[in-house]
Amino acid sequence: MAEFDEKVLDVFLEKQEKLFPEPVAENREEAEEFLSDAMAVVVDSIEEVMDYLDEAGMDISELKKEEAENAEEVFAIGDGRYLIVDV
């Protein structure tokens, strides 16, 4: 199982309804299990988010960093890192 620190898990728990119509996890353990199963990744910058989206096949030629940051599958951790949940 991938390791997600408490800050990442807490942000996902708080903001998961940005991506899903109802909660998929109710505590850190469930969140970590879900994120591991979903092969979620944590990246260190918005530039890495852009790279991830590009590699995933999204046309980012006109995508602004602010738009990438607000994408439903992208969660800003608040310390410069981002969680990407590609479902």
Answer whether residue 61 is part of any domain.
Answer: yes
Residue 64 forms part of a structural domain: yes
Is 41 inside a domain boundary? Answer: yes
CB atoms within 10 A of CB 53: 19
Q: How far apart are CA 13 and CA 27, in angstroms?
A: 7
Q: How many domains does the chain have?
A: 1
pLDDT in tens, the chain (87 residues): 457 999 999 999 999 999 999 999 999 999 999 999 999 999 999 999 999 999 999 999 999 999 999 999 999 999 999 999 987
Asked, for residue 62, whether it belongs to a domain, the answer is yes
**Sheet containing 82-84: which strands, arranged edge to edge?**
41-43, 82-84, 74-76
Q: With contact defined as beta carbons under 8 Å apart, do 68 and 56 qualify?
A: no
* pLDDT number for residue 2: 57
